[in-house]
Structure 1
Amino acid sequence: MARLANDPPDRSHNLTDTPYGLPLSDVLRIDALAGAKTLAGAVGMNRPVTGLNIMEVPDVLGWVKPHELLVTTGFPLLDRERRLDVARMVALVQGLYDKTLGGFAIKLGRYVDTVPDEVLALADALGFPIVQIPDEVAFDDVLKDAYAALNAFQSNVLAQIDALHSALTMIVLEGGDLEQIAAEVSQVLDVGVLVTSTDGREWAGALSDEARATLEVSEFLDMSGRVRIERLRGARPFGAGEIRVLNVATSGTDLARLVVVSERRVLRASDVYALERAATVAALLITRMQAVVAVEGKYRGDFLRDVLTDRAESPQYVLEHAEGLGWDLDRPLVVVVAQLDPPGPDEAVVSSRTHRGFQDRFAAAWRQVVERRGRSIAVADFSSQVVALLPVSGDGSDVSEVVEEALAAVRGDSGGGRRPFSAGISRVVSGVEELPDAYTRARKAVDVGRRMQGSGSTTYFDRLGVRRLLSQVEDPAELDGFVTEVLGTLAEDSATAADLRATLQVLLDVNLNVAEAARTQHFHYNTMRYRVTKLESLLGPFSTDPQVRLDVAVALQILQMRE
């Protein structure tokens, strides 16, 4: 039985917030609506229709549901003089659009002769379809044919979704991977599919060459190949269709993203519903994969940690065991230690679980970047740092190129919620017995670089200069004592001391050229001469004694390392 406009809505039948219904253009193809004409709002003919409603009362807005097609003879729109109330009709069209109805169909001739121009203009502006029903059509026939078409469509949709869910579940049970899930979804729904990390790094995909080429030159992909998921809030236009992202999550944990690329058509609500089911199955597979990776990662990480902390057995054992893990350590390597930077003073404190999520995503990014270069490259997560052993040429001429390429790929454009990190790079090693020293130096490079340059630093141990030697001093008190002995009161933590130290550093930087130092600090020449005299009274004759000058320069370097 048809539901009339004054029947109260039964919201218990709304199984999902995502409606899947026939596009209005398809509803108008049923036999009962043969000859129907679109009067306005033609751009909205793809609006989904999940049911029909008959307008029997003027205040119908209180009784309609989203995605219905409202049909009427126009009688409730007449005033007391049996003339069309144009203002009421304008308000009705606006109200139906606001309540996301599929469209408005009216039978002209008996009560309403024409739809006023202002109503048609509003419908065109809103993209809300107004359709004229043929005069000879009975509403009972419209309801019967429309609901038959809707039921057939929804049955097909449910069958498709069930078949897709069953196929995906079977893939998981049979030990399949994300590539197979992406391929199955792509084939069933005729769309391109990418499964990515939460920050947009591709894990698996089923995308045509044409779609991938279009994606690569679009705003949705950065230079490193990362999908800019932060730009994909809801559906975005892509060719003649759209691109959108769905979250893959389970038990409150964000696992991945499902990126859907549809070049030829806009996704139907039924497609989105099916994709949500696919995301659920993908979450099950990713959870299982993460458990396996966690076990394997701990085993690999423990072995690499033993190698880098000089607790492993003979070099021959290390090489053989590494080969069993798929790693090649018998070649020139540099050790890269990468650490997430601590949160800034303006950032909110996060829970340990959230911080662990940052580190997991950071480690996954490194694994993906390194494995693309070669699966024989060793990389492991040490909880607070990620360590990678990158292969380089024997003479080390390509160290910068290799390292910077890897760092750029991990950083990308810093979108997708990625955290800044600092990295330290060892000198080139030619044998596994040199790896412990290289690891120690890479860690020191991270610490010194972060103190000297701040967050996001990249520091090569071999380029630290005198800081490389200073970082080898194990006793910090020894360094502090040297600073106090050389600088005296200039070592104090005061504004006056800091100001004089700045002048002193400028003088050293310009080889004691007083005129150049005055220009650099925007002082008068005589003012700079006065400062030189004052500094020498505190430090000794650094302008004439090379040994004093060397001690002062080293002490300033130590202070910079301590900041």
Structure 2
Amino acid sequence: MNFEVKLSVHEILQNKHFEHAKVIAGKAGLYRLVRWVHVMEVTSIENLINGNELILSTGIGWKGDKEVFGSLVKQSINSNAAGLCIELGSYVSKIPQEIIELADAHEFPLIVFTKEVRFIDITQEIHSLLIKKHYQILSDLEEYSNRLNQLLLSSNPQQKILQLLHDHLKMTVFYISNQGKVQVISKKSPEEQDKLVQLLKGNKIPRLMNVAHQSVQALNQTFADLFIISEAEAITEFESLVLDRSAIALAQSLLRELYIEEQRKAKEAEWVSCWLEGGHSNEQIHRYLSELEPNLKPNGCTVLICKADNLDKIISEFTYLKVYFRSIFEQRGIFLLSYVQKNQLVFVLLNKWKTDDLKRRVQEGIDCLKKSDFIKKQKFSQLKFSVGKFVNDLSHVKNSFHTAKETLNIREKMPNELSNYFYEDLYIFRLVLAANEQGILCEFISDYLGPVLLHDQQNNGELLKTLKVYLQCKGAKKETAEQLHIVRQTLYHRLDKLYELIGRDFMDPYKRQAIEVAISAYEYTSASKSPYEYASITKSS
């Protein structure tokens, strides 16, 4: 780790090897940070230092050449060196006045040794001091981490962690949650604190104000932002690491709170189950929700079903999965109540914002879940989602639950036909479901497709596929042949056979609509029935 150790030029001057050293220029820069010490006798140094080095030299490189000496000082200033130490003696007898003025103008420490010194002793001593300080930083960081761990075992750790961060760094601390709640630990007045909050939110930090930021993340989600503000010195890497450790501790505290809260909510599953079955009145629902979340004023709701084949085998992961779902949707203005049913997680999504973009927010939440590393790293099989009908009346949630199950059923049977998760996007399949429930679907399919299905069954043909593509292409023969990967002549033979089986009028508007519905219905039911079942009805009739 490359920590910025706080060792200044002034502190180094207190060392015994600088007993006969004298600062002849740049006294205002004595608190410059020193990261390393170099002995350099060359006159071109810009590409040889990284900044914050204290340079030691006998002057052999420029001897009495004032211009070369001035160039060296300018290079040192431009390269952000910490200072220049020169041994007066054989090569340099005095420092020119213009060099002193140059150093003073840039607050660049210029130090001379009036007696001979051993540079090797100086470098060893200072390097040892740097290493000692580096080790002290590691020890301080370890001690700080231990204190954080102790706070995590106490009550209300969040406030105590923020206070510890403030006390340790002596800086203003801001904690801003995703919900906009702001906590400030500072000696500033309330008015000054409010002003800083506005500057942070508007990303308009003054130039002289140093700010470091760290997100408070858990389950790959950002729950809050943590800031430290210094109006004096720049924030060092050590202080940034303290900030980072604090953010991790806050995330652990937050995750524990979420886990405990989710376990508490798990006890509500029986009530939610009864609600999904229509067992609660509007009054009972609103009373329960107000007790659960006093500020919750639902603006309609819907039901989301999440299915995974192995969900029932990893029950220990349920709570974390529900915490993750909740964090995703609450960021989008949706409050969740959950219920576990075999290999399904059932969520009642209560809308807290306006209704006109609810579908978009639910879609964004599902997309975020499917792409998240957290879900990918878990042992869950591929998650399948479905969303029921949106209802304004909370007592009608049973209808939304029923339609969510229907949507899941259709999406599982026809994964290639339906890519959307929402019941309202089932389109013609809503009629198919209704007809299937009334027991008339099989007869409807047989009436419009029976001869075609019988022919395909007996001849291993592809008339049904041809008919479907031909209708999708709106009767365009060239496009149909291209999509089927057959020559035009073969298509003509198949169309002639279709004319013979279902009539030449199958492109007439109403008959065409009926046939298209029958094709969709057949594809829905074909998972459990064979083509011969429909064909046999036609044959017998």
TM-score by length of 1: 0.56
In the alignment, is the contact (CA less than 8 A) between 2:468 and 2:519 conserved in 1? Answer: no
Task: Find the partner of 1:286 among 242, 250, 254.
Answer: 254
Please state if 1:135 is matched with 2:112: yes
> Is 1:194–1:205's contact at 8 Å kept on the other side of the alignment?
yes
> Is it true that 1:550 corresponds to 2:518 in the alignment?
no
Q: 1:212: which partner in 2?
A: 201
1:380 maps to which of 338, 360, 382? 338
Cross-structure match for 2:407: 445
- Asked if the contact 1:195/1:256 (under 8 Å) is kept, the reply is no
Q: Give the drift of 1:289.
A: 0.7
> For 1:14-413, what aligned pairs fall within 5 Å after superposition?
17=1, 19=3, 21-22=5-6, 35=23, 69-72=36-39, 93=48, 103=53, 105-109=55-59, 113=63, 129=81, 131-133=83-85, 134-136=111-113, 173-175=154-156, 177=158, 181-182=161-162, 185=165, 188=169, 190=171, 208-214=197-203, 245=214, 261=227, 267-279=235-247, 281-310=249-278, 312=279, 317-326=284-293, 333-337=300-304, 339=306, 360-370=323-333, 377=335, 379-380=337-338, 382=340, 384-385=344-345, 387-391=347-351, 399-408=355-364, 411=367
Letter in 2 for 1:22: K
Query: C-alpha distance in 2, partners of 1:456/1:130?
Result: 67
Instruction: For residue 136 of structure 1, report the CA deviation from its aligned partner.
Output: 1.0
Asked whether the equivalents of residues 337 and 348 of structure 2 are also in contact (C-alpha less than 8 Å), the reply is yes
Give the SS at the match of 1:437.
helix
How many Å separate the matches in 1 of 2:305 and 2:482? 40
CA distance in 1, matches of 2:246, 2:369: 29
Aligned residues between the structures? 456
CA contact (8 A) 1:338 1:422 kept: yes
Q: CA deviation at 1:438?
A: 1.9
Letter in 2 for 1:388: V
Gap change, CA 1:408 and 1:185, over 3 Å in 2: farther
Secondary structure of the residue aligned to 1:426 is: coil
Within the candidate set 473, 481, 488, 2:453 is matched to: 488
Deviations 1:318-340 (A, max 9, x none): 55434432379997733131538
- Cα–Cα, structure 1 residues 36 and 260, in superposed 2: closer, same or farther, change >3 Å? farther
Q: Which runs of 5+ in 2 are unaligned?
A: 86-110, 185-195, 376-382, 528-541
Shift of 1:280: 5.2
Alpha-carbon offset, residue 426 of structure 1 = 0.9
One-letter amino acid of the counterpart of residue 362, structure 1: F
CA RMSD of aligned residues (A): 6.3
1:424 — aligned with what?
387
Could you say which residue in structure 2 is the equivalent of 1:469? 431
SS in 1 for 2:303: strand
Contact 1:514 1:525 in 2 (8 A): yes
Unpaired stretches in structure 1, ≥5 consecutive residues: 1-16, 50-66, 75-83, 217-237, 344-350, 372-376
Partner AA of 2:3 in structure 1: P
Partner of 1:109, secondary structure, is coil
Question: In 2, distance between residues paired with 1:486 and 1:552?
Answer: 15
Say whether the 8 Å CA contact 2:148–2:246 is kept in structure 1. Answer: no
Q: Is the 8 A contact 2:273 2:339 kept in 1?
A: no
Question: After alignment, is 132-141 or 295-304 more displaced?
Answer: 132-141
Amino acid at match of 2:389: S
**Alignment CA distance shift 1:148-1:544 (3 Å):** closer
Give how far 1:308 is off: 0.8
Per the TM alignment, residue 185 of structure 1 is displaced from its structure 2 partner at its CA by 3.7
Q: Aligned partners of 1:359, 1:516: CA distance in 2, in Å? A: 48
Tell me the TM-score normalized by structure 2: 0.58
Q: 1:316-368 CA deviation, whole Å, 9 max, x = no partner? A: 5555434432379997733131538999xxxxxxx998898566423321234
- CA displacement at 1:298 relative to structure 2: 0.5
Distance 2:299 2:199 in 1: 40
Paired amino acid for 2:84 = Q
Change over 3 Å in CA distance of 1:551–1:148 after alignment to 2 = closer
Change (3 A) 1:451 1:331: same
Identical aligned pairs, as a percentage? 10
Q: Counterpart amino acid of 1:208?
A: V
Q: Deviations over 1:97-131 (max 9, x none)?
A: 7xxx9635222336885999999999999x68474
> In the alignment, which residue of structure 1 is the partner of 2:496?
533
Structure 1 residues 517 and 123 mapped into 2: Cα distance closer, same or farther (>3 Å)?
farther
Q: Distance in 2 between matches of 1:449 and 1:143?
A: 73
Q: Deviations over 1:427-470 (max 9, x none)?
A: 425352x3223211023224535766779954442452330133
**3-state SS in 2 of match to 1:173:** coil
Residues 175 and 183 of structure 2 are in contact (CA less than 8 Å); yes or no, is this contact kept in structure 1? yes
1:150 and 1:543 map into 2 onto residues whose CA distance is 88
Equivalent residue letter for 2:300: L
Structure showing greater Rg: 2
